Amino acid sequence: MIVKLKKNIKSRVANGHPWIYENEIESVEGNPNPGDIVSVFRGSNFLGKGYYNQNSLIRVRILTRKNVEIDKEFFKDKIEKALNYRNLIYPNSNTYRLIFGESDGLPGLIIDKFDDYISMQINTLGIFLRKNYIVESLIELLNPKGIYEKDDERSSKIEKFEMTNKWIYKSGPELIPFTLNGITFFADTLGQKTGFFLDQRNNALETAKYSKDKTVLDAFTYTGNFGVHCLNAGAKHVTFVDYSERSLYVLEQTLKINNFDSSRYEIINANTFDYLRTLDSIGKLYDVTIIDPPSMAKSRKVKNGAIRGYKELNLRAMKITKSGGFLSTSSCTQIIYDEEFKKIIYSAGEDTKKILKVIFRGYQSPDHPINLNILETEYLKHMLIKVENIDNF
C-alpha cells in the first residue's frame, strides 16, 4: 500500500518530520485500513514507512526511512537503540524515559523505566495494533518485574483503539518505588501520564543546589519532585502546595520513606493561584520559590490566555520571593516557545520592579530528546533566577 505526497509541499517530511497530514497527500493506493503500514513516496522518491489512519488529523506517522519489514525485530531494534542511548547519558541510573515517541522513531509510544518496572502509554492505533511486538521486546531486553500500560483516554477515542489502564505483564504495586538522584520516589499508577514526570530530573537537581538552609515554596508540587530534592540538599523548610489530594498522598509516602523530619516541611492542599495571592496579601516571603504548573494550552486558540496565566504566576512568585532569593520557574506548554517564555519572565520582573539574573536555563532532560527536525519534541522550558528588588541593586 502506497501513500503519494504532493510534489509542491514543503520539504518538512523529507527532512525528518514523521507526520503527514491529509492536505499533503496526493493519492492513496491499496485501500489501507486504519493502522496498516504504508510506504510513503514523493514523486518517485521513497521517503519511508509508517502507519496510516484516516480517522486521525495526522494521516500517516512515519516509523522508518528504510524499506524494511515492520515486525517484531524492527521494534526490538528500535527499543535496543533507545536503551543504549539512555545508558550512555545516565550510566548510573536505572530510571529514565526509554521511549519518547517521535524522538526515538516510535511516534505514539511513551515508555518510562522505573528501576525494575515499566510504565508505558500508547497514543495511536498504529502502535496499539503492534503492542505485542513491543511488550515481547521489552521482556527480552529488560526482563522487568512488571509492565503497566496507562494509555491516554482522549487519544484512544480519536484514534479508535481500546484504552488500557492495568498491569499487562506480571504485576506490581500501586505506587512503584524507584530511585532518582539518590532519592526514593513513587510512580503512581493512578496518577497522571505514566505516573511521574521524569523530564524535570536535571532542573530539580540544579534548583536544589541553592536551597541549603533556605525556606522553599514548591507550588504545583504534584508528588514533590522539586521540593523533595531541596529537602535532600539541606533546605531548612519546604512548603508543598497542590490541589490534588491524591498527589499529596503520594508525596506523604515519599517524605516518609526518605525519613525527612516532619518539622522541615508542611503540605498545603489548595488552588495554587489562590494560595500565591494569599501569601502576597499577608507579606509571606521565601528564599526559594518554585513554580512548575501543568500545561496551560493544547491549542493556539488559547495561547494568549496561557501567556497571561504564566505572567500572573511568575509575577505572584516574584512578589513572595525575598530580595536576593531564587525563582525556579518552568513551562511545559509546547506552543509557548523559549523566547516567548523569557519575555513573559522579563515582563513579570518589570511589573514587580525586580532585577532578574539568570543562573541556569534548562529544558527537558536528555532522556526526552529534543529532535531539531521535529519542533514538537521541544516543550519544557526552565529558568533558575536570582531575584533582587530594583531599589536594592
The three cell numbers of residue 166 are 492495568
Percent of the chain's residues with pLDDT above 90: 96
Distance CA 174, CA 43 (A): 52
The three cell numbers of residue 133 are 511486538
Where does 95-130 have alpha helices with state H?
125-128
Distance CA 217, CA 267 (A): 10
- The answer to whether residues 215 and 237 touch, using CB atoms and an 8 Å cutoff, is yes
pLDDT in tens, 274-320: 999 999 999 999 999 999 999 988 788 899 999 999 999 999 999 99
Distance CA 168, CA 314 (A): 42
Backbone φ, ψ for residue 99 (5° rounding)? -130, 125
- Domains plus CATH for the chain? 2-64 (2.30.130.10), 72-173 (3.30.750.80), 197-392 (3.40.50.150)
Distance CA 365, CA 203 (A): 8
pLDDT in tens, 238-248: 999 999 999 99
Query: Which helix (H) or strand (E) segment is 355 a member of?
Result: strand 354-363
- Give the pLDDT of the chain (393 residues) as one tens digit per residue: 999 999 888 789 999 999 999 999 999 999 999 999 999 999 999 999 999 999 999 999 999 999 999 999 999 999 999 999 999 999 999 999 999 999 999 999 999 999 999 999 999 999 999 999 999 999 999 999 999 999 999 999 999 999 999 999 999 999 999 999 999 999 999 999 999 999 999 999 999 999 999 999 999 999 999 999 999 999 999 999 999 999 999 999 999 999 999 999 999 999 999 999 999 999 999 999 999 999 988 788 899 999 999 999 999 999 999 999 999 999 999 999 999 999 999 999 999 999 999 999 999 999 999 999 999 999 999 999 999 999 987
Q: Are strands 2-5 and 37-42 parallel, antiparallel or unpaired?
A: parallel
Q: Are strands 237-242 and 215-219 parallel, antiparallel or unpaired?
A: parallel
Smallest Cα–Cα separation from 147: which of 130, 124, 131, 163?
131
Place of cell 509546547: 334
CA 165 vs. chain centroid, Å, equals 19
pTM of structure? 0.95
Query: Which helix (H) or strand (E) segment is 291 a member of?
Result: strand 286-291
State the virtual CA torsion across 147, 122, 187, 313 in degrees, nearest 10. Answer: 170
Cβ atoms < 10 Å from Cβ of 385: 25
For all residues of the chain together, what is the average pLDDT?
Answer: 96
Residues contacting residue 348 through CB under 8 Å, at least 6 positions apart: 311, 314, 315, 318
